[in-house]
Amino acid sequence: MTGQPLPPPDAPIAGQGDAKGTSPGPTTLRPARPRWRETLGLLARNPTAAVASVVLLLIVVLAVFDDTFAPEGANEISVTDRLQSPSWSHPFGTDDLGRDILSRVILGASVSLKVGFLAVGFALVAGTLIGLLAGYYGRWVDDVLMRVMDMLFAFPAVLLAIAVLAVRGPGSGNTALAIGIVYTPIFARVTRASVLGVREEVYVRASRSVGASDWRILTRHILPNAAPPIIVQTSISLAFAVLAEAALSFLGLGTQPPNPSWGLMLAEGRGYIELAWWLAFFPGMAIFLTVLCFNLLGDGLRDALDPRQRTLMAGGGR
Amino acid sequence: MFALVHLVPGDPVRLALGTRFSQESYDALRERSGLDQPLLEQFFGWAGRALSGDLGVSFRSGETVTSQIAERLPATLTLALASILVALVIAIPLGTISALRPRSIIDRIATVISQFGISVPDFWMGIVLILVFAGTLGWLPSGGYVPISEDPGAWLQRLLMPALVTGVVSGSVITRFVRSSVLEALGSDHVRTAQAKGLPTRQVFTWHVLRNALLPLVTVTGVQLAYLLSGVVVVEIVFSWPGLGQLALQAVQARDYPVLQGAILLFALVFLVINLVVDLLYTAIDPRIRR
Amino acid sequence: MRSPRLLALAAAGGLLLTACGGGGESVDTGGGGGGGGGDNVLVAAVSAQPDQFDPHVTSAYPSFQVLENVYDTLAVPDAEDLTMQPSLAESWETSEDGLTWTFTLREGVTFHDGSEFDAADVVYSYNRIIDEELNNAYRFATVTNVEAVDPQTVEITVSQPTPNLPALIGGFKGMAILPEGAAEEYDLTTEAVGTGPFTLESSDASRTELAAYEDYWGGAPSIDGVEFRYITEPAAALTALQNGEVQWTDNVPPQQIESLEGDDAVELATTPSVDYWYMSMNYAREPFGNPQVRQAIATAIDRAAVTEAARFGAAQPNQTAIPEDSFYYYDYAPYDANAQEAQSLIQQAGVQTPLTMGLMVTDEFPETVTAAQVIASQLEPIGITVDVQTVDFATWLDRQAQGDFDAFLLGWLGNIDPFDFYHAQHITDGSSNYQGYSNPEVDRLLDSAATETDEDARKDLYDQAAKLIVDDVSYLYLYNPDVVQAWAPGLSGYEIRADKAINFEGVELP
């Protein structure tokens, strides 16, 4: 939400949209499937992406075992110890209620990541389904579904999320839902474009002629072909979702106090910026690092999986 | 959208009255603001008037919605255009150079810079800039807006930081588009043909490469502009910038339905107009589309 | 100023409006503030844009900051002790039975449009509020008639003795006197026609400008005008004050007080306010209807720690509502922040612990969010898990009205008379009694206090009521915050007030 909205639905993305997708070259007779070993190999050869994956892995481990790693609880209030600058006992200092910022940053990781994964999970499932249906059935199904997606799209992303949160009330779960809704059209578009690219391919027509059900064609032939750009999009969307959660919490609409979330901590620290810079600095760094890693991983995945770059460039959503 | 706006829980009447009032006052204000009418009736009434350009009156201020929007348009336009300028100044050279020397040091540095720009939370960057330039160094005011007609110097001082923040973010996005589209244009058949014909590099570059790379650039710039015009809510708040994003957020908070509906209508219009302009530019730039 | 109403759009977080533009031509940006080059305009940094300027309609503090300087009321609170002093009325008296009030109006007062002020304007203004059921109509609850006896005399008839009538009609500028027919003649949401020391010149998304009114009945102000600039971020407002862009601000967060005390570029002032912040528990939600549970909670809460956390000490912990400086202050503090005692109280109450209490707060007033977190940590040891629910103010008000809460934190601001502090909040079915408190003895005491004309007897009645309210924990009182304001050194003629009214009438720039 700090980010920019996404490109308009019908604008070709970097000139590499549907037009090129319809002539997929050498893979004509065989649906492309993600080849995991090969992908990992390619990733390993891309040092930035490899480093990003390792850092992300660390962050995820930290988030999963946050209780073990955090030196203190999230809400151990001690007003007498408030606003202490970073030291050995509090490496990131303490906040206005004397809570240990390092602990809150660690505990905030699980909040931020949970919202991110939930949001992208929602967008992934809903968007892919819509994209598959629209692309495969075409005609009015396509028209109706994609017009709805366009409407969501035309709406400024921040405001859409704010509106969803205003209706549903603030909180982590609803934040995930709001971000998920904002991001659904992207997945729908990416999927649809891939489906259009293979719908009339020989192997699809062949399955159809031998009487395969729509469901079987969609899951066995079309989805695998669309998978690489969706995977790339997922990584990039995670970056966006973490940023969005931070921005919404910053506006007071996302995660609610006293729960630690990076965006919320940043917002709370803003009033103390001159007195105690560490309140806003460390959560900001945490957001930055996580988002950067998701973006770098997304880049690496794109190079490895999607050389034709059908996915949206540039940190989706920004 | 109208339904969504009215679905938001929270009562604008109660909010307008504060916390101490009588039931009679509540009923009277509800009637005056037309909120006692059935929702459908409210909608058709609003839509009908909106068609003739009357967007209604703000619950909060009693001013017309059109005048409230007009009041904030200059600030929003200023910031959006300045940001796009910053973005293009960053993106075009950086993207082109890295495309011309792919995988070189310059390319890698440019990639890193744009990755940073995309990944940094803009409000955080804003806060850090304020801390450094307004706080520690004291070079710039920490926020606010002055119309250029009033004091160009003060206008520029206040514009610099927010424009830099939004410009860097947008610029990072655009850089990557420029890089990939220039790369693609360089690899395209007609550029290779032109090179094979022995045309001077400069001519090939300006005529064939840039022209082709311009298309996606126009698209992405349009998208970024639409986004900036609909208000960069968070940055506006950090820099106390009286733009449309702030107005919309405030309207949500005050449950000021007329203002919110007006703002949404405007954003949809901006989106449509920019799409139209992008389409027109396409026709102008790309001979293949001109029929 | 401010009515004893919660000002919907007070300071609050980053929600509101825009901020300053600095450096307009009328501003001297040199150190130390304005005053140079014949520019005799005070630039004041406030935290938010006024919503509108109709004094009878708005309920927003940012609007009243401006209106305070533009409009007058019949009576006005004294800057020192907030007792009612003559303003547009030179004097008033009550009949023997207390049912008729006669106000003698000031002569030679003119409105900003040049028209003469007389009794017809008072009748018009009050009837506008009453007939149209505007926000403040409740203040005329006992008023049955407003009549002009002659151009200089207004008679107000009440249905029962109303000793606080002057406070009701003079407590804040929401009861301003408009010229007769003003609502038809002017667009009062954007124009102002008062009798006050300044006229409203213009207002937009970044500033509001006032000019001195030469024919002001109290004598023209010495400054040429006032410019209100909206600076949302407190840090930005302070920077603007320090480098001389503005000469006055009330946007000073309590955590800054300490660092500003040694700052020569800033004159800092604090004074105890007449606001109070409290926690309210819903009697209809078990186990909070149980008095022992409420008393246990009242005993567990350490008000000093809450105050320190939420206000950085810029507040006075108080177990009753009325602050120490007031004539009506009642020194009563039965709870002593003792977790063990609280623990045994809750055991006696026979409720199952741990129990969960939803505590509703709003980011409109960030100090409630901070206080709630501290309270949560204080109630944890006695087996109460507090679920802090931060909602926006619109939702907050809805949930309060629907009784959809276990407990909430909020404040009553700008209280002048003890009636404002206690009546509607604690009388059975009172319009602000959202907790559902009902004690016949309290009802009796509040009702007789409302009509008691002898001040000492009245105080005694309110003391008795307050004791019961505190014992029953109808409200759990927390603290009275301080007013914090800062201005340029050398600025004179300004008085910081307990009711947070800001009046620039007598200000002189350095």
Domain regions of chain C by residue span: 39-70+196-266+488-509, 72-184, 276-482
Contacts of A175 in chain C (CB under 8 A): none
CA distance C436 to chain B (A): 16
Q: Are C458 and C451 in contact (CB under 8 A)?
A: no
Does residue A45 lie in a domain region? no
Over residues B283-291, the mean pLDDT reads: 61
CA distance A198 to chain B (A): 23
Residue type, B32: R
Q: Are B168 and A4 in contact (CB under 8 A)?
A: no
Residue range B180-198, pLDDT digits in tens: 888 877 777 777 777 777 7
- Contact check, Cβ <8 Å, A274/C392: no
Give the closest of C15, C24, C137 to B24, CB-based: C137
* Lowest mean pLDDT segment, chosen from B15-19, B178-182, B237-241, C65-69: B15-19
Number of domains, chain A: 1
> What is the DSSP code (8-state) at residue A94?
B
Q: How far is CA A99 from the centre of its chain?
A: 30
C208: nearest Cα among C193, C179, C228: C228
Q: What is the CATH number of domain C276-482?
A: 3.10.105.10
CA distance B96 to chain A (A): 14
Q: Are C7 and C60 in contact (CB under 8 A)?
A: yes
Over residues A199-206, the mean pLDDT reads: 76
Q: What DSSP assignment string belongs to B173-229?
A: HHHHHHHHHHHHHHHSHHHHHHHHTT--HHHIIIIIIIHHHHHHHHHHHHHHHHHHH
Q: Are C154 and C91 in contact (CB under 8 A)?
A: no
Does residue A119 lie in a domain region? yes
- Contact check, Cβ <8 Å, B121/A284: yes
**Inter-residue long-range contacts of C440-447, CB under 8 Å, 24+ positions, other chains counted:** C441/C468, C442/C468, C442/C469, C442/C472, C442/C474, C446/C422
The rounded distance, in Å, linking the Cα atoms of C73 and C121 is: 11
Whether B262 shows a pLDDT value over 90: the answer reads no
Which band of pLDDT confidence, cut at 50, 70 and 90, is reported for residue A306?
Answer: low
- Contact check, Cβ <8 Å, C232/B240: yes
The domains found in chain B, sorted by start residue, are: 2-51 (no CATH), 73-289 (1.10.3720.10)
Does residue A58 lie in a domain region? no
The predicted pLDDT at position C3 comes to: 39
Q: Are C255 and C390 in contact (CB under 8 A)?
A: no
Does residue A41 lie in a domain region? no
Residue type, C463: D
The predicted pLDDT at position B265 comes to: 83
Contacts of A279 in chain C (CB under 8 A): none
Tokens linked to C361: 């707060």
Over residues B131-145, the mean pLDDT reads: 78
CATH class of C39-70+196-266+488-509: alpha beta
CA distance A183 to chain C (A): 25
Flag whether residue B138 sits within 8 Å of chain C, measured between CB atoms. Answer: yes
User: What are the beta bridge partners of residue A94?
Assistant: A100
The rounded distance, in Å, linking the Cα atoms of B279 and A12 is: 11
The predicted pLDDT at position C19 comes to: 33
Tell me which residues of chain B, numbers 107 to 136, contact chain A at a CB-CB cutoff of 8 Å: 114-116, 118-124, 127-128, 130-131, 135
Average pLDDT, chain A: 77
The residue among B211 and A272 whose pLDDT is bigger is A272
Cβ count near C286 (within 10 Å): 12
Whether C505 shows a pLDDT value over 90: the answer reads yes
Q: Residue B16 half-sphere exposure, CB side, CA atoms within 13 Å?
A: 29
Instruction: Quote the pTM value.
Output: 0.81
The predicted pLDDT at position A39 comes to: 66
Place of tokens 């109070």: C276
A240: nearest Cα among A185, A282, A171: A185
Over residues A203-232, the mean pLDDT reads: 79
Over residues A180-207, the mean pLDDT reads: 82
Whether C445 shows a pLDDT value over 90: the answer reads yes
* Lowest mean pLDDT segment, chosen from A119-123, C56-60, C435-439: C56-60
Does residue A29 lie in a domain region? no
Q: What DSSP assignment string belongs to B141-154?
A: -SS----TTT-HHH
Contacts of A256 in chain C (CB under 8 A): 388-390
Whether C14 shows a pLDDT value over 70: the answer reads no
Instruction: Give the strand pairing for C384-391 and C355-362.
Output: parallel
The predicted pLDDT at position C30 comes to: 34
Contacts of C265 in chain B (CB under 8 A): none
- Contact check, Cβ <8 Å, C235/A271: yes
The rounded distance, in Å, linking the Cα atoms of B234 and B124 is: 10
- Contact check, Cβ <8 Å, C390/A97: no
Please give the backbone phi and psi of residue C211, each rounded to the nearest 5 degrees, phi first: -125, 150
Over residues C79-91, the mean pLDDT reads: 93
Tokens linked to C130: 């009453």
The predicted pLDDT at position C501 comes to: 92
Contacts of A264 in chain B (CB under 8 A): none
A169: nearest Cα among C231, C226, C392: C392
Contacts of C256 in chain A (CB under 8 A): 275
Residue type, C134: L
The rounded distance, in Å, linking the Cα atoms of C129 and C134 is: 5
A34: nearest Cα among A299, A229, A293, A214: A229
> What is the DSSP code (8-state) at residue B57?
B
The rounded distance, in Å, linking the Cα atoms of A179 and A161 is: 6
The predicted pLDDT at position C13 comes to: 29
CB pairs B-C closer than 8 Å: 186
- Which candidate in A75, A76, A79, A97 is best for mutational testing of the C interface (most C CBs within 10 A)? A79
Nearest residue of chain A to residue C371 (CA atoms): A97
CA distance C20 to chain B (A): 5
Residue range A70-108, pLDDT digits in tens: 788 777 888 888 888 888 888 898 888 888 999 999 998
Average pLDDT, chain C: 88
Q: Are A25 and A15 in contact (CB under 8 A)?
A: no
User: What are the beta bridge partners of residue C212?
Assistant: C198
Query: In CATH, what number is assigned to the domain containing residue A151?
Result: 1.10.3720.10
Contacts of A275 in chain C (CB under 8 A): 255-256, 259
* Lowest mean pLDDT segment, chosen from B11-25, B142-156, B252-266, C418-432: B11-25
Tell me which residues of chain B, numbers 65 to 104, contact chain C at a CB-CB cutoff of 8 Å: 71-72, 75
The predicted pLDDT at position C41 comes to: 95
The radius of gyration of chain C's CA atoms, rounded to the nearest angstrom, is 23
Exposed (0-12), middle (13-18) or buried (19+): which is A148, by Cβ within 10 Å? Answer: middle
- Contact check, Cβ <8 Å, A313/B9: no
Over residues C404-410, the mean pLDDT reads: 95
Distances (CA, A) of C54 to C65, C109, C173, C191, C194: 13, 21, 10, 8, 11
The predicted pLDDT at position B192 comes to: 73
Residue range A8-22, pLDDT digits in tens: 333 333 333 333 333
Task: Express the helix, strand and coil content of chain B in percent, nearest 5 each.
Answer: 75, 0, 25
- Contact check, Cβ <8 Å, B219/A11: yes
Domain coverage including residue A133: 68-314
- Contact check, Cβ <8 Å, C138/B21: yes
CA distance B220 to chain A (A): 7
C466: nearest Cα among C274, C332, C295, C298: C332
> What is the DSSP code (8-state) at residue C158?
E
Flag whether residue A273 sits within 8 Å of chain C, measured between CB atoms. Answer: yes
The rounded distance, in Å, linking the Cα atoms of A297 and A241 is: 15
Nearest residue of chain C to residue A256 (CA atoms): C390
- Contact check, Cβ <8 Å, B223/A313: no
Query: How is domain C72-184 classified at the CATH fold level?
Result: Dipeptide-binding Protein; domain 1 (3.90.76)
ipTM of the complex as predicted: 0.78
> What is the DSSP code (8-state) at residue B64?
B
The residue among A247 and B53 whose pLDDT is bigger is A247
Cis peptide leading into A258, omega within 30 of 0? yes
Flag whether residue C370 sits within 8 Å of chain A, measured between CB atoms. Answer: yes
Q: Are B163 and B90 in contact (CB under 8 A)?
A: no
> What is the spatial order of strands in the sheet that C100-105 belongs to?
C89-94, C100-105, C153-158, C143-150
Q: What DSSP assignment string belongs to A134-183?
A: HHHH-HHHHHHHHHHHHHHHHS-HHHHHHHHHHHH-SSHHHHHHHHHHHH
CA distance A153 to chain C (A): 26
Place of tokens 């029953």: C472
Over residues C343-355, the mean pLDDT reads: 88
Whether A2 shows a pLDDT value over 80: the answer reads no
The predicted pLDDT at position C33 comes to: 33
- Contact check, Cβ <8 Å, B25/C134: yes
The rounded distance, in Å, linking the Cα atoms of A74 and A83 is: 15
The rounded distance, in Å, linking the Cα atoms of B229 and B225 is: 6
The predicted pLDDT at position C142 comes to: 93
Over residues B75-90, the mean pLDDT reads: 92
Residue type, B194: A
The rounded distance, in Å, linking the Cα atoms of A316 and B220 is: 12
Residue range B7-43, pLDDT digits in tens: 666 677 777 776 667 777 777 777 777 777 777 777 7
Residue range C40-60, pLDDT digits in tens: 999 999 988 898 999 999 888
The rounded distance, in Å, linking the Cα atoms of C1 and C56 is: 13
- Contact check, Cβ <8 Å, C255/A75: no
Q: Are B153 and B69 in contact (CB under 8 A)?
A: no
CA distance C69 to chain A (A): 30
Give the closest of B75, B153, B250 to C15, CB-based: B250
Which band of pLDDT confidence, cut at 50, 70 and 90, is reported for residue C24?
Answer: very low
Place of tokens 């009339």: A200
Flag whether residue C389 sits within 8 Å of chain A, measured between CB atoms. Answer: yes
- Contact check, Cβ <8 Å, C3/B20: yes
Q: Are B58 and B51 in contact (CB under 8 A)?
A: no
- Which candidate in B142, B173, B257 is best for mutational testing of the A interface (most A CBs within 10 A)? B173
Q: Are C23 and B151 in contact (CB under 8 A)?
A: yes
Element (H, E) at C389: strand C384-391
Residue type, B84: I
Q: Residue C472 half-sphere exposure, CB side, CA atoms within 13 Å?
A: 19
Tokens linked to A224: 């695998």
Distances (CA, A) of A71 to A101, C101, C375: 10, 68, 23
Q: What DSSP assignment string belongs to C47-110?
A: SS--S---TTT---HHHHHHHTTT---SEEE-TTT--EEESSEEEEEE-TTS-EEEEEEPSS-B
Whether B288 shows a pLDDT value over 50: the answer reads yes
Whether C161 shows a pLDDT value over 60: the answer reads yes
- Contact check, Cβ <8 Å, B124/A156: no
CB pairs A-B closer than 8 Å: 167
- Contact check, Cβ <8 Å, A252/C234: no
% of chain C with per-residue pLDDT over 90: 71
Contacts with C37 (C-beta within 8 Å, 6 or more apart), sequence order: C28
User: What is the 3-state secondary structure of C449-471?
Assistant: HHHCCCHHHHHHHHHHHHHHHHH
Residue range C252-277, pLDDT digits in tens: 888 888 888 888 889 999 999 999 99
User: What are the beta bridge partners of residue C356?
Assistant: C385
- Contact check, Cβ <8 Å, C390/A275: no
Whether A284 shows a pLDDT value over 70: the answer reads yes
Q: Are C240 and C219 in contact (CB under 8 A)?
A: no
Average pLDDT, chain B: 80
* Lowest mean pLDDT segment, chosen from B155-164, B271-280, C166-175, C352-361: B271-280
Instruction: Give the strand pairing for C153-158 and C100-105.
Output: antiparallel
Contacts of B among chains (3+ CB pairs under 8 A): A, C
> What is the DSSP code (8-state) at residue A123?
H
Which band of pLDDT confidence, cut at 50, 70 and 90, is reported for residue B3?
Answer: low
Does residue A55 lie in a domain region? no
